[in-house]
Amino acid sequence: MALKQRLSGIRRICKKNDYFESDYMIFDLLDYIFGELKMIVYKLLFFGKLKYHIYGKYSRQLQIRIFNKGRLYIGKNTVFRAGTKIRIQKTGKVTIGSGTGFNYYCIINSHNSISIGENTIIGQNVKFYDHDHNYKTHGNRRSTGFTTEPIVVGDNVWIGSDCLILKGAKIGSNSVIAAGTVVKGEIPESSLVYNKKEIVIKEIAYKELRF
């Protein structure tokens, strides 16, 4: 009964998003069905460390790893497309609000705390890191430890593809982060954020070949 209810939830969400208008979308549906089965296995594996809502779309290629005292909380109607990886270590905690969606190949890596609000759109290849290697300590780089600060993303935020969200970042609600932006520090609500980039175009001075 529980499995039937979960699959019914997936179908309801897919139908709401017109997932049955094209024949090839059946492959996406199958991906999410197998993904839901995988989430059940994760739930059993991680016991109380993982809490998620049955109404969501979880790709079978979603990877979750929770170590030590880590915690993961996922709201309803969330979307995780293929290749997204969530890794929580030590006392890290990740909270993902309802209605938030992750495009392909995103990474969330937490040692401290990462909180992402509701109805937020995450583009492809976006990465969240709430920690850095403690490079100021002498010794083997693999054993010098980490420095950490929480990451907080508000509601209704749009983060474009290939962005990097670093420790201590606080992104206000209704903000837009342009593709390829590196974010650190505090971003006020309703902000448009981008890194200035200049494209340099030069003519190639080809040398004439002599035979």
- Active-site residues, by number, are 133
208 burial via Cβ count (<10 Å: 0-12, 13-18, 19+): exposed
Distance (Å, whole) CA 205 – CA 3: 65
Q: Which long-range contacts (C-beta less than 8 Å, at least 24 apart) are formed by 103-106?
A: 103/161
Distance (Å, whole) CA 83 – CA 197: 28
Distance (Å, whole) CA 191 – CA 98: 22
Distance (Å, whole) CA 3 – CA 98: 21
Count CB neighbours of 149 within 10 A.
16
Residues sharing a CB contact under 8 Å with residue 135, sequence separation 6 or more, in sequence order: 141, 144
Distance (Å, whole) CA 171 – CA 136: 28
Q: Are strands 127-129 and 164-165 parallel, antiparallel or unpaired?
A: parallel
